[in-house]
Amino acid sequence: MKIKSLVMLGALSLLFSCQNEQPIADQKETLEQELEITPKILSQIEALSLNPEDVETITTTFPDGSTRTSLLIEGDIAISAAELESIRPVDISNKQYRTYNLVTSPRVIEVIGYTGLGFNQNLTALQQDALTEAVANYNDLNLGLSFNLTFTNDLTNADIIVFQNPNGAAGGVAGFPSAGNPYLYVQIYSGMENYSLEVNTHVMTHEIGHTLGLRHTDWFTRQSCGRPSFGELANPSGAVHIPGTPYRLDPNSVMLSCFGLDETGEFGRYDIVALEYLY
């Protein structure tokens, strides 16, 4: 996710990735220390309606000490080369989308707000308040999923682990579901400490949306970022339209690519339609 405002700020990394059928437990152990951006990889990215421009690599250390190197796409999507191979494209022509990978429902999702001190990744008081409100956003919906939030450094039995990345940027990082489970890790960049509770809640809610399989509502143009991404128009495939959501840009969606300084932290109308359709 990036900031949208009257003056566009620098790129802010919020990542989400389309996962393969790898069990959640194995996500902690995945190590990909060498990842070369080849023409084939760029072609695969474009075939999934992801922008092949400005692709780079990013290496992340998680609270359990594991490290993973992934492709960074569109400034906010993290995906490994193996995951890229596993995603099935599909023809689409509309604006609001999910991935093929969803979370098994009904079930209780155990969310851990990390408060350990390892790698300076503990959530601040502001981030804890924002995560509390974000989880409440989901629990207020009529879903087959319910969310149980605990603040702890015990990662046992966690379905989603939310922790701070101390790199000073703003935004966050998340991924898509795998094998019926939500993506395990949500990173919140430490620069979010400079923003309001409502903006932090927006980012937390957005990131959790990715872990459940939601894509950006404006992925087709990234219009919310103020600079259309025409590279995605050439091959519209790899996303699934959610019935009941609009074909136009939805300026109220919590799943827009970029966020502003006046966010409320609440779902837009069609975010609720999308989630209640899926779950």
Give the tokens for residue 272: 């609720």
How many C-beta neighbours within 10 Å does residue 57 have?
Answer: 14
pLDDT score at 3 = 64
pLDDT at 72: 77
Angle, helices 125-139 vs 197-211, to 10°: value is: 50
Say what the pLDDT of residue 240 is: 59
Quote the pLDDT of residue 155: 93
Distance from C-alpha of 121 to C-alpha of 141, rounded to nearest angstrom: 30
Which CATH entry fits the domain spanning 39-278: 3.40.462.40, 3.40.605.10, 3.40.390.10, 3.40.50.920? Answer: 3.40.390.10
Per-residue pLDDT of the chain (279 residues; tens, 9 = 90+): 666 433 333 333 333 323 332 333 344 443 344 678 888 888 887 776 667 777 888 888 888 888 888 887 776 677 777 767 766 554 433 345 555 678 999 999 999 999 987 678 999 999 999 999 999 999 999 999 999 999 999 999 999 999 999 888 899 888 878 888 998 999 999 999 999 999 999 999 999 998 898 887 875 666 777 755 543 433 333 455 677 777 667 889 999 888 889 999 999 998 999 899 889
**For the chain, what are the domain ranges?**
39-278
Contact between 29 and 186 under an 8 Å Cβ cutoff? The reply is no
Q: Which two tokens stand for residue 5?
A: 């405002």
Q: Please report, for residues 52, 87, 275, the alpha-carbon distance to residue 245 in angstroms, rounded to integers and kept in the order given.
A: 26, 23, 11
